[in-house]
């Protein structure tokens, strides 16, 4: 299986950001994401356990940088060229305009995306 990033369906989009997701990839979700500098995911994760993402992600940063903040209060910056694993229990703040691909378990990814969509609607995003 292969797919061009532009053919992955956009499931959420604002003038500054886009989340493209496709399920059904061997139990995984493949995502291509673009987010602007300064975007803080914390408000969109409020209401989930520990107000954080409970879905692990594996991926690669194509452009930019993002700070991951874990439930244990540790943090790390992931930059262009980095391959990553983000375990369950995190939030993030975009430090430089960001483009990345990630692979996540379909069930947990869908739960988080549904929650984020509801929060975006509540916040008028």
Q: Can you tell me which residue has the tokens 């209401």?
A: 47
Residue 57: CA count within 13 A, CB half-sphere: 25
Percent of the chain with pLDDT over 90: 88
Q: What is the pLDDT of residue 94?
A: 98
Residue 125 pLDDT exceeds 70: no
Q: Tell me the C-alpha to C-alpha distance, in Å, between residue 46 and each of 8, 37, 109.
A: 27, 20, 16
User: From CA 18, how far away is CA 110, in angstroms rounded?
Assistant: 16
CATH 3.30.1330.60 for domain 5-123, yes or no, is no
Q: What pLDDT shows up at residue 121?
A: 84
CA distance 21 to 29: 6
pLDDT digits (tens, 9 = 90+) for 14-61: 889 999 999 999 999 999 999 999 999 999 999 999 999 999 999 999
The closest alpha carbon to 102, from 67, 48, 61, 68, belongs to 61
Mean pLDDT (whole number) for 107-117: 95
Residue 75 has pLDDT above 90, yes or no: yes
pTM: 0.92
């Amino acid at each position: 299986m292969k797919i061009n990033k532009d053919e992955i369906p956009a499931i959420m989009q604002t003038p500054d950001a886009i989340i493209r997701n496709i399920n059904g990839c061997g139990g995984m979700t493949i995502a291509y994401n673009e987010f602007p500098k300064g975007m803080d995911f914390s408000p969109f994760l409020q209401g989930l356990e520990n107000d954080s993402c409970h879905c692990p992600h594996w991926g690669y940063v194509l452009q930019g940088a993002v700070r991951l903040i874990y439930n244990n209060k540790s943090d790390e910056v992931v930059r262009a060229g980095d391959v990553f694993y983000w375990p369950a229990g995190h939030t993030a703040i975009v430090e430089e305009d960001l483009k990345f691909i990630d692979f996540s378990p379909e069930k947990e990814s869908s739960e988080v995306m549904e929650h984020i969509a509801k929060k975006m609607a509540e916040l008028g995003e």
